[in-house]
Structures are given as C-alpha cells and as structure tokens.
C-alpha cells in the first residue's frame, strides 16, 4: 500500500517506531469511507 501511495506519509518517532500525523489519519479514514484512494484525495481538505 505504501509503494503505490495509498497511505499517508509516515513520521519517524524513533529508530524503530514510525507514526502518522493525526490530521493525515483523519483525512485518510475519510477517503476510505468515501471509497477513494489516499493519493486521489490527499490534501483535498487543506486550503
């Protein structure tokens, strides 16, 4: 999923842990509910 751009960009928290911005996760879930791919609606809610 990450290689095809279907996930938000990860943020490195430590050497072994990664995380995601809360806003990106919220947008990601909204896209999934709408049946759209993340790459298609990435940043659509941002102005």
Read off the pTM: 0.55
pLDDT average, residue stretch 17-45: 80
Res. 13 pLDDT band, cuts 50 70 90: confident
How sure is the predictor about 43, in pLDDT bands with cuts at 50, 70 and 90?
Answer: low
Q: Do the Cβ atoms of 11 and 21 come closer than 8 Å?
A: yes
- Helix residue ranges per DSSP H, the chain: 22-34, 38-41
């Amino acid at each position: 999923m990450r290689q095809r751009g279907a996930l938000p960009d990860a943020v490195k928290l430590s050497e072994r842990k990664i995380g995601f911005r809360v806003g990106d996760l919220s947008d990601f879930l909204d896209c999934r509910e709408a049946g759209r791919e993340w790459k298609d609606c990435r940043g659509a809610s941002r102005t």
